[in-house]
Amino acid sequence: PAWSVRRTDGPVRVLHVLTNSFPRTQSGYAVRSHAVLRAQRAAGTQVRAVTRIGYPVTVGMVGAAREDVVDGIEYRRLLPTRLAPTPAARLVQMTRLLAREVEAFRPQVLHTTTNFQNALVTRAVARSYGLAWVYEMRGVLEQTWVASRPADQQAEALESERFRLLRAKETEMALAADAVVVLSQVQREDLIERGVPAERIRIISNAVDDAVLEAPEVGAAQARAGLGLPRDGFWVGSVSSLVDYEGFDVLLEAVARCRANGVDVRCLLVGDGVSRPGLEAHAAELGLGPQVCVLPGRVPQDEALAWYQALDLFCVPRKDTPVCRSVTPIKPFTAMALGRPVLVSDLPALREVAARGEGAVFPAEDVVALATAMSTAAGHPRNAVASGQNGTRPGVPAGLPTWSRNGGLYAALYEELI
Protein backbone atom coordinates (compact mmCIF):
# COMPACT_ATOMS: atom_id res chain seq x y z
CA PRO A 1 0.00 0.00 0.00
CA ALA A 2 0.92 3.65 -0.37
CA TRP A 3 0.83 4.22 3.39
CA SER A 4 2.12 2.52 6.49
CA VAL A 5 -0.31 0.29 8.38
CA ARG A 6 1.91 0.39 11.45
CA ARG A 7 0.47 2.02 14.52
CA THR A 8 1.18 5.73 14.80
CA ASP A 9 0.38 8.14 17.61
CA GLY A 10 -2.99 8.91 16.05
CA PRO A 11 -6.26 7.00 16.56
CA VAL A 12 -6.74 3.54 15.11
CA ARG A 13 -8.64 3.77 11.82
CA VAL A 14 -11.24 1.08 11.12
CA LEU A 15 -13.29 0.67 7.95
CA HIS A 16 -16.52 -1.28 8.42
CA VAL A 17 -18.05 -3.30 5.58
CA LEU A 18 -21.81 -3.65 6.12
CA THR A 19 -24.77 -5.28 4.41
CA ASN A 20 -27.10 -2.31 5.01
CA SER A 21 -27.35 0.71 7.28
CA PHE A 22 -29.17 3.74 8.56
CA PRO A 23 -30.92 5.81 7.30
CA ARG A 24 -32.01 3.58 4.41
CA THR A 25 -32.74 0.47 6.49
CA GLN A 26 -34.28 0.30 9.95
CA SER A 27 -33.54 -3.17 11.31
CA GLY A 28 -31.85 -4.84 14.26
CA TYR A 29 -28.76 -5.24 12.10
CA ALA A 30 -28.68 -1.54 11.22
CA VAL A 31 -29.35 -0.56 14.84
CA ARG A 32 -26.39 -2.60 16.08
CA SER A 33 -24.13 -1.32 13.30
CA HIS A 34 -24.87 2.28 14.19
CA ALA A 35 -24.49 1.65 17.90
CA VAL A 36 -21.13 -0.07 17.31
CA LEU A 37 -19.84 2.77 15.15
CA ARG A 38 -20.89 5.46 17.62
CA ALA A 39 -19.43 3.52 20.56
CA GLN A 40 -16.13 2.99 18.77
CA ARG A 41 -15.90 6.66 17.85
CA ALA A 42 -16.61 7.63 21.48
CA ALA A 43 -13.81 5.26 22.55
CA GLY A 44 -11.33 7.10 20.32
CA THR A 45 -11.40 4.89 17.23
CA GLN A 46 -11.66 6.64 13.86
CA VAL A 47 -14.44 4.90 11.92
CA ARG A 48 -16.12 4.91 8.55
CA ALA A 49 -18.53 2.42 6.95
CA VAL A 50 -19.27 1.19 3.46
CA THR A 51 -22.25 -0.96 2.45
CA ARG A 52 -22.48 -3.89 0.04
CA ILE A 53 -22.28 -3.30 -3.70
CA GLY A 54 -25.39 -1.73 -5.20
CA TYR A 55 -27.07 -0.96 -1.87
CA PRO A 56 -29.43 0.88 -1.41
CA VAL A 57 -30.29 1.10 -5.12
CA THR A 58 -30.81 -2.67 -5.21
CA VAL A 59 -33.57 -2.36 -2.57
CA GLY A 60 -35.47 0.21 -4.61
CA MET A 61 -33.86 3.53 -3.62
CA VAL A 62 -32.82 4.50 -7.11
CA GLY A 63 -31.92 8.11 -6.35
CA ALA A 64 -29.83 7.32 -3.27
CA ALA A 65 -26.77 9.45 -2.57
CA ARG A 66 -23.27 7.99 -2.57
CA GLU A 67 -22.91 8.91 1.10
CA ASP A 68 -25.19 9.34 4.09
CA VAL A 69 -24.08 10.89 7.36
CA VAL A 70 -26.05 9.95 10.48
CA ASP A 71 -24.99 11.30 13.89
CA GLY A 72 -21.66 12.16 12.34
CA ILE A 73 -21.09 8.58 11.10
CA GLU A 74 -20.24 8.31 7.40
CA TYR A 75 -21.95 5.55 5.43
CA ARG A 76 -20.45 5.34 1.96
CA ARG A 77 -22.14 3.46 -0.89
CA LEU A 78 -20.47 1.21 -3.44
CA LEU A 79 -22.51 2.21 -6.48
CA PRO A 80 -21.04 1.24 -9.86
CA THR A 81 -22.49 2.62 -13.07
CA ARG A 82 -23.80 -0.86 -13.80
CA LEU A 83 -23.85 -4.00 -11.67
CA ALA A 84 -21.93 -6.97 -13.05
CA PRO A 85 -24.24 -9.70 -14.42
CA THR A 86 -23.23 -12.65 -12.18
CA PRO A 87 -22.76 -13.07 -8.41
CA ALA A 88 -19.06 -13.92 -8.81
CA ALA A 89 -18.44 -10.92 -11.03
CA ARG A 90 -20.24 -8.66 -8.55
CA LEU A 91 -17.93 -9.87 -5.78
CA VAL A 92 -14.93 -8.90 -7.94
CA GLN A 93 -16.57 -5.57 -8.68
CA MET A 94 -17.19 -4.96 -4.96
CA THR A 95 -13.58 -5.89 -4.18
CA ARG A 96 -12.30 -3.22 -6.54
CA LEU A 97 -14.66 -0.57 -5.18
CA LEU A 98 -13.75 -1.44 -1.59
CA ALA A 99 -10.07 -1.13 -2.47
CA ARG A 100 -10.71 2.46 -3.56
CA GLU A 101 -12.33 3.18 -0.19
CA VAL A 102 -9.29 1.67 1.54
CA GLU A 103 -6.98 3.91 -0.51
CA ALA A 104 -9.04 6.95 0.47
CA PHE A 105 -9.47 6.20 4.19
CA ARG A 106 -6.22 4.29 4.88
CA PRO A 107 -7.51 2.10 7.70
CA GLN A 108 -5.41 -0.21 9.82
CA VAL A 109 -8.25 -2.70 10.31
CA LEU A 110 -11.15 -3.88 8.15
CA HIS A 111 -14.22 -5.02 10.10
CA THR A 112 -17.06 -6.83 8.37
CA THR A 113 -20.22 -8.63 9.40
CA THR A 114 -22.22 -11.67 8.37
CA ASN A 115 -22.61 -12.98 5.67
CA PHE A 116 -19.73 -14.80 3.98
CA GLN A 117 -20.00 -12.67 0.82
CA ASN A 118 -18.97 -9.61 2.81
CA ALA A 119 -16.18 -11.66 4.36
CA LEU A 120 -14.88 -12.95 1.00
CA VAL A 121 -14.48 -9.40 -0.29
CA THR A 122 -13.03 -8.08 2.96
CA ARG A 123 -10.50 -10.91 3.19
CA ALA A 124 -9.32 -10.29 -0.39
CA VAL A 125 -8.83 -6.56 0.17
CA ALA A 126 -7.21 -7.05 3.59
CA ARG A 127 -4.70 -9.48 2.11
CA SER A 128 -3.91 -7.09 -0.74
CA TYR A 129 -3.05 -4.26 1.64
CA GLY A 130 -1.57 -6.27 4.50
CA LEU A 131 -4.39 -5.29 6.87
CA ALA A 132 -5.89 -7.13 9.81
CA TRP A 133 -9.56 -8.01 9.42
CA VAL A 134 -12.37 -8.89 11.81
CA TYR A 135 -15.43 -11.01 11.04
CA GLU A 136 -18.44 -10.20 13.21
CA MET A 137 -20.89 -13.09 13.08
CA ARG A 138 -24.12 -11.56 14.28
CA GLY A 139 -26.46 -14.12 12.79
CA VAL A 140 -26.19 -17.73 11.77
CA LEU A 141 -26.82 -17.57 8.04
CA GLU A 142 -27.69 -21.20 7.42
CA GLN A 143 -30.01 -21.39 10.43
CA THR A 144 -31.78 -18.17 9.45
CA TRP A 145 -32.41 -19.69 6.03
CA VAL A 146 -33.92 -22.81 7.62
CA ALA A 147 -36.13 -20.65 9.86
CA SER A 148 -37.46 -18.84 6.77
CA ARG A 149 -38.79 -22.12 5.33
CA PRO A 150 -42.33 -23.42 6.04
CA ALA A 151 -42.41 -25.43 9.25
CA ASP A 152 -43.05 -28.72 7.46
CA GLN A 153 -39.93 -28.20 5.31
CA GLN A 154 -37.43 -27.22 7.98
CA ALA A 155 -36.26 -30.73 8.88
CA GLU A 156 -35.51 -31.38 5.19
CA ALA A 157 -33.74 -28.00 4.91
CA LEU A 158 -31.46 -28.92 7.83
CA GLU A 159 -30.32 -31.98 5.87
CA SER A 160 -29.92 -30.14 2.56
CA GLU A 161 -26.78 -29.47 0.58
CA ARG A 162 -27.53 -25.74 0.71
CA PHE A 163 -27.44 -25.80 4.51
CA ARG A 164 -24.18 -27.75 4.52
CA LEU A 165 -22.51 -25.44 1.99
CA LEU A 166 -23.62 -22.24 3.73
CA ARG A 167 -22.35 -23.53 7.07
CA ALA A 168 -19.04 -24.60 5.53
CA LYS A 169 -18.51 -21.19 3.92
CA GLU A 170 -19.26 -19.31 7.13
CA THR A 171 -16.85 -21.61 8.99
CA GLU A 172 -14.17 -21.00 6.35
CA MET A 173 -14.48 -17.24 6.81
CA ALA A 174 -14.34 -17.50 10.61
CA LEU A 175 -11.18 -19.59 10.34
CA ALA A 176 -9.60 -17.07 7.95
CA ALA A 177 -10.29 -13.91 10.00
CA ASP A 178 -7.71 -12.46 12.38
CA ALA A 179 -10.47 -12.20 14.99
CA VAL A 180 -14.12 -13.22 15.20
CA VAL A 181 -16.76 -11.30 17.16
CA VAL A 182 -19.93 -13.08 18.30
CA LEU A 183 -22.90 -11.93 20.33
CA SER A 184 -23.33 -14.82 22.75
CA GLN A 185 -21.60 -17.65 24.58
CA VAL A 186 -23.64 -20.21 22.65
CA GLN A 187 -22.30 -18.81 19.36
CA ARG A 188 -18.76 -18.93 20.71
CA GLU A 189 -19.13 -22.56 21.73
CA ASP A 190 -20.52 -23.44 18.30
CA LEU A 191 -17.51 -21.87 16.53
CA ILE A 192 -15.07 -23.66 18.84
CA GLU A 193 -16.77 -26.94 17.88
CA ARG A 194 -16.20 -26.00 14.23
CA GLY A 195 -12.48 -25.62 14.88
CA VAL A 196 -12.10 -21.86 15.31
CA PRO A 197 -9.42 -21.21 17.97
CA ALA A 198 -11.05 -20.03 21.19
CA GLU A 199 -8.49 -17.24 21.66
CA ARG A 200 -9.56 -15.61 18.39
CA ILE A 201 -13.23 -15.37 19.40
CA ARG A 202 -14.58 -12.39 21.36
CA ILE A 203 -18.07 -12.05 22.78
CA ILE A 204 -19.35 -8.49 22.41
CA SER A 205 -23.03 -8.75 23.22
CA ASN A 206 -25.87 -6.49 22.28
CA ALA A 207 -26.20 -3.63 24.69
CA VAL A 208 -28.07 -0.49 25.62
CA ASP A 209 -27.27 3.08 24.75
CA ASP A 210 -26.06 4.93 27.83
CA ALA A 211 -28.54 7.72 27.11
CA VAL A 212 -31.44 5.30 27.60
CA LEU A 213 -30.28 4.71 31.17
CA GLU A 214 -30.65 8.44 31.76
CA ALA A 215 -34.14 8.75 30.23
CA PRO A 216 -36.80 10.01 32.66
CA GLU A 217 -38.83 7.28 34.32
CA VAL A 218 -42.32 7.04 32.85
CA GLY A 219 -45.05 4.70 34.05
CA ALA A 220 -46.57 2.32 31.50
CA ALA A 221 -50.09 3.73 31.82
CA GLN A 222 -48.77 7.28 31.43
CA ALA A 223 -46.77 6.29 28.34
CA ARG A 224 -49.83 4.62 26.82
CA ALA A 225 -51.94 7.72 27.39
CA GLY A 226 -49.32 9.78 25.57
CA LEU A 227 -49.55 7.43 22.60
CA GLY A 228 -53.34 7.39 22.51
CA LEU A 229 -53.60 3.85 23.89
CA PRO A 230 -55.88 2.75 26.75
CA ARG A 231 -54.40 3.26 30.20
CA ASP A 232 -56.26 0.22 31.54
CA GLY A 233 -54.99 -3.34 31.43
CA PHE A 234 -51.65 -5.11 31.76
CA TRP A 235 -49.87 -4.71 28.43
CA VAL A 236 -47.39 -7.28 27.15
CA GLY A 237 -45.54 -7.28 23.85
CA SER A 238 -42.40 -6.42 21.98
CA VAL A 239 -40.59 -4.08 19.61
CA SER A 240 -39.37 -6.37 16.85
CA SER A 241 -39.37 -7.51 13.26
CA LEU A 242 -42.58 -9.48 12.76
CA VAL A 243 -41.41 -12.82 11.39
CA ASP A 244 -42.63 -16.34 12.14
CA TYR A 245 -39.80 -17.53 14.37
CA GLU A 246 -40.38 -14.65 16.81
CA GLY A 247 -43.40 -16.61 18.06
CA PHE A 248 -45.89 -13.77 18.32
CA ASP A 249 -48.73 -16.10 17.30
CA VAL A 250 -48.02 -17.96 20.54
CA LEU A 251 -48.12 -14.64 22.43
CA LEU A 252 -51.52 -13.74 20.95
CA GLU A 253 -52.94 -17.13 21.95
CA ALA A 254 -51.58 -16.69 25.48
CA VAL A 255 -53.16 -13.22 25.72
CA ALA A 256 -56.50 -14.66 24.62
CA ARG A 257 -56.15 -17.40 27.24
CA CYS A 258 -55.44 -14.84 29.98
CA ARG A 259 -58.51 -12.85 29.00
CA ALA A 260 -60.68 -15.97 28.93
CA ASN A 261 -59.56 -16.54 32.53
CA GLY A 262 -60.60 -13.02 33.51
CA VAL A 263 -57.17 -11.36 33.52
CA ASP A 264 -57.05 -8.05 31.62
CA VAL A 265 -53.88 -8.74 29.64
CA ARG A 266 -53.47 -6.80 26.38
CA CYS A 267 -50.93 -6.91 23.59
CA LEU A 268 -48.71 -4.40 21.77
CA LEU A 269 -46.42 -5.49 18.92
CA VAL A 270 -44.38 -2.65 17.43
CA GLY A 271 -42.66 -3.26 14.11
CA ASP A 272 -43.33 -4.72 10.69
CA GLY A 273 -42.53 -7.81 8.67
CA VAL A 274 -43.93 -10.64 6.61
CA SER A 275 -45.92 -12.04 9.56
CA ARG A 276 -47.84 -8.86 10.31
CA PRO A 277 -50.94 -9.57 8.13
CA GLY A 278 -51.20 -13.08 9.57
CA LEU A 279 -50.87 -11.78 13.12
CA GLU A 280 -53.59 -9.19 12.54
CA ALA A 281 -55.88 -11.91 11.17
CA HIS A 282 -55.03 -14.24 14.07
CA ALA A 283 -55.80 -11.50 16.61
CA ALA A 284 -59.22 -11.00 14.98
CA GLU A 285 -59.89 -14.77 15.06
CA LEU A 286 -59.06 -14.79 18.77
CA GLY A 287 -61.43 -11.91 19.44
CA LEU A 288 -58.64 -9.48 20.36
CA GLY A 289 -60.06 -6.14 19.22
CA PRO A 290 -58.25 -2.82 18.64
CA GLN A 291 -58.49 -1.85 22.31
CA VAL A 292 -56.84 -5.12 23.31
CA CYS A 293 -54.30 -5.86 20.57
CA VAL A 294 -52.36 -3.08 18.81
CA LEU A 295 -49.94 -3.51 15.89
CA PRO A 296 -48.90 0.04 14.92
CA GLY A 297 -46.21 -1.01 12.43
CA ARG A 298 -42.85 0.75 12.35
CA VAL A 299 -42.63 3.89 14.45
CA PRO A 300 -40.28 6.89 14.13
CA GLN A 301 -36.92 6.38 15.82
CA ASP A 302 -37.44 9.39 18.10
CA GLU A 303 -40.69 7.85 19.41
CA ALA A 304 -39.33 4.36 19.99
CA LEU A 305 -38.66 4.69 23.73
CA ALA A 306 -42.25 5.72 24.41
CA TRP A 307 -43.49 2.48 22.84
CA TYR A 308 -41.15 0.44 25.04
CA GLN A 309 -42.38 2.39 28.07
CA ALA A 310 -46.00 1.65 27.15
CA LEU A 311 -45.40 -2.01 27.99
CA ASP A 312 -45.81 -3.48 31.47
CA LEU A 313 -43.94 -6.63 30.39
CA PHE A 314 -41.54 -7.04 27.46
CA CYS A 315 -41.87 -10.51 25.94
CA VAL A 316 -39.59 -12.45 23.56
CA PRO A 317 -41.59 -15.62 22.78
CA ARG A 318 -39.20 -16.99 20.15
CA LYS A 319 -39.80 -20.48 18.83
CA ASP A 320 -37.46 -23.40 19.41
CA THR A 321 -35.55 -23.20 16.13
CA PRO A 322 -31.77 -23.45 15.59
CA VAL A 323 -31.43 -19.73 14.84
CA CYS A 324 -33.38 -18.73 17.97
CA ARG A 325 -31.26 -21.03 20.11
CA SER A 326 -28.10 -19.25 18.88
CA VAL A 327 -28.83 -15.57 18.22
CA THR A 328 -29.55 -12.94 20.87
CA PRO A 329 -31.94 -10.04 20.16
CA ILE A 330 -31.00 -6.43 20.86
CA LYS A 331 -34.36 -5.02 21.98
CA PRO A 332 -34.72 -6.64 25.46
CA PHE A 333 -31.70 -4.69 26.70
CA THR A 334 -33.51 -1.42 25.98
CA ALA A 335 -36.57 -2.70 27.83
CA MET A 336 -34.41 -3.64 30.83
CA ALA A 337 -32.75 -0.23 30.79
CA LEU A 338 -36.19 1.36 30.99
CA GLY A 339 -37.06 -0.74 34.02
CA ARG A 340 -39.44 -3.10 32.24
CA PRO A 341 -39.43 -6.77 33.28
CA VAL A 342 -38.54 -9.19 30.50
CA LEU A 343 -40.02 -12.64 29.82
CA VAL A 344 -38.30 -14.86 27.24
CA SER A 345 -38.51 -18.36 25.79
CA ASP A 346 -36.26 -20.83 27.58
CA LEU A 347 -33.63 -21.11 24.83
CA PRO A 348 -29.83 -20.93 25.26
CA ALA A 349 -29.28 -17.49 23.65
CA LEU A 350 -32.31 -16.01 25.40
CA ARG A 351 -31.27 -17.41 28.78
CA GLU A 352 -28.09 -15.36 28.37
CA VAL A 353 -30.22 -12.25 27.86
CA ALA A 354 -32.44 -13.00 30.87
CA ALA A 355 -29.40 -13.60 33.05
CA ARG A 356 -28.24 -10.03 32.41
CA GLY A 357 -31.10 -8.71 34.47
CA GLU A 358 -34.20 -9.88 36.28
CA GLY A 359 -35.60 -11.69 33.25
CA ALA A 360 -37.82 -14.76 33.56
CA VAL A 361 -38.18 -17.71 31.19
CA PHE A 362 -40.99 -20.01 30.05
CA PRO A 363 -40.90 -23.16 27.88
CA ALA A 364 -40.75 -22.15 24.21
CA GLU A 365 -44.03 -22.42 22.26
CA ASP A 366 -45.98 -23.39 25.41
CA VAL A 367 -49.14 -21.25 25.34
CA VAL A 368 -50.36 -22.38 28.75
CA ALA A 369 -47.02 -21.69 30.45
CA LEU A 370 -46.76 -18.26 28.80
CA ALA A 371 -50.31 -17.35 29.82
CA THR A 372 -49.60 -18.46 33.39
CA ALA A 373 -46.41 -16.36 33.53
CA MET A 374 -48.22 -13.30 32.16
CA SER A 375 -51.16 -13.71 34.54
CA THR A 376 -48.76 -13.97 37.48
CA ALA A 377 -46.91 -10.84 36.35
CA ALA A 378 -50.22 -9.00 35.90
CA GLY A 379 -51.21 -9.86 39.46
CA HIS A 380 -47.86 -8.78 40.89
CA PRO A 381 -46.41 -6.31 38.36
CA ARG A 382 -43.74 -4.82 40.60
CA ASN A 383 -42.60 -8.22 41.88
CA ALA A 384 -41.15 -8.89 38.44
CA VAL A 385 -38.99 -5.80 38.73
CA ALA A 386 -35.73 -5.49 40.64
CA SER A 387 -35.56 -3.20 43.64
CA GLY A 388 -33.51 -0.54 41.94
CA GLN A 389 -30.58 -0.45 44.34
CA ASN A 390 -28.07 0.40 41.61
CA GLY A 391 -28.56 4.14 41.57
CA THR A 392 -30.80 4.27 38.50
CA ARG A 393 -34.56 3.79 38.12
CA PRO A 394 -36.21 0.79 39.82
CA GLY A 395 -35.86 -2.40 37.83
CA VAL A 396 -32.66 -1.55 35.94
CA PRO A 397 -30.10 -4.37 36.32
CA ALA A 398 -26.75 -3.19 37.64
CA GLY A 399 -24.76 -5.34 35.20
CA LEU A 400 -26.59 -4.33 32.04
CA PRO A 401 -24.15 -4.16 29.07
CA THR A 402 -23.70 -0.68 27.62
CA TRP A 403 -22.41 0.47 24.25
CA SER A 404 -19.82 2.68 25.93
CA ARG A 405 -18.30 -0.42 27.52
CA ASN A 406 -18.48 -2.27 24.21
CA GLY A 407 -16.63 0.59 22.51
CA GLY A 408 -13.73 -0.06 24.85
CA LEU A 409 -13.83 -3.80 24.11
CA TYR A 410 -13.56 -3.15 20.39
CA ALA A 411 -10.74 -0.66 20.91
CA ALA A 412 -8.79 -3.23 22.92
CA LEU A 413 -9.32 -5.85 20.22
CA TYR A 414 -8.02 -3.54 17.48
CA GLU A 415 -4.97 -2.67 19.56
CA GLU A 416 -4.11 -6.35 19.77
CA LEU A 417 -4.48 -6.81 16.01
CA ILE A 418 -2.20 -3.96 14.94
Residue 11's Cβ-count burial label (10 Å; 0-12, 13-18, 19+) is middle
Nearest to 90 by CA among 105, 104, 79, 75: 79
* Predicted local distance difference test score (pLDDT) of residue 148: 83
Predicted confidence at residue 7, as pLDDT, reads 57
% residues pLDDT > 70 (the chain): 94
Tell me, yes or no, whether 113 and 142 share the same domain: yes
> How is the beta sheet containing 360-362 ordered, strand by strand?
293-297, 265-270, 234-239, 313-316, 342-345, 360-362
> Is the residue at 233 inside a domain?
yes
pTM over 0.75: yes
What's the confidence (pLDDT) of residue 139?
77
129: pLDDT strictly greater than 90: yes
CATH no. for residue 408?
Answer: 3.40.50.2000
183 in a structural domain: yes
Does residue 174 come out as left (phi exceeding 0), alpha (psi in the -120 to 50 range) or beta? alpha
Q: Average pLDDT for residues 96-110, to the nearest whole number?
A: 98
Element (H, E) at 235: strand 234-239
Q: Is 279 left (phi over 0), alpha (psi -120 to 50) or beta?
A: alpha
310 contacts 220 by C-beta, under 8 angstroms: yes
Higher pLDDT, 395 or 335: 335
Query: Is 70 exceeded by the pLDDT of residue 385?
Result: no
281 and 184 in a common domain:
no
Q: Is residue 393 part of a domain?
A: no
Structural domain span for residue 48: 13-207+404-417
For residue range 33-68, what is the model confidence (pLDDT) as tens digits?
A: 999 999 999 999 999 999 999 999 999 999 899 999
Q: How many CB atoms lie within 10 A of CB 276?
A: 17
Residue 140 has pLDDT above 90, yes or no: no
Give the residue-averaged pLDDT of 377-403. Answer: 62
The answer to whether residues 361 and 354 touch, using CB atoms and an 8 Å cutoff, is yes
Tally of structural domains, the chain:
2
Average pLDDT of the chain, as a whole number:
92
Q: Has residue 2 been placed in a domain?
A: no
Spatial CB neighbours of 400, under 8 Å, sequence gap ≥ 6: 207, 208, 213, 333, 336, 337, 356, 357
Task: Indicate whether 396 belongs to any domain.
Answer: no
Percent of the chain with pLDDT over 90: 84
pLDDT band (50, 70, 90) for residue 4: low
> Are residues 270 and 157 part of one domain?
no
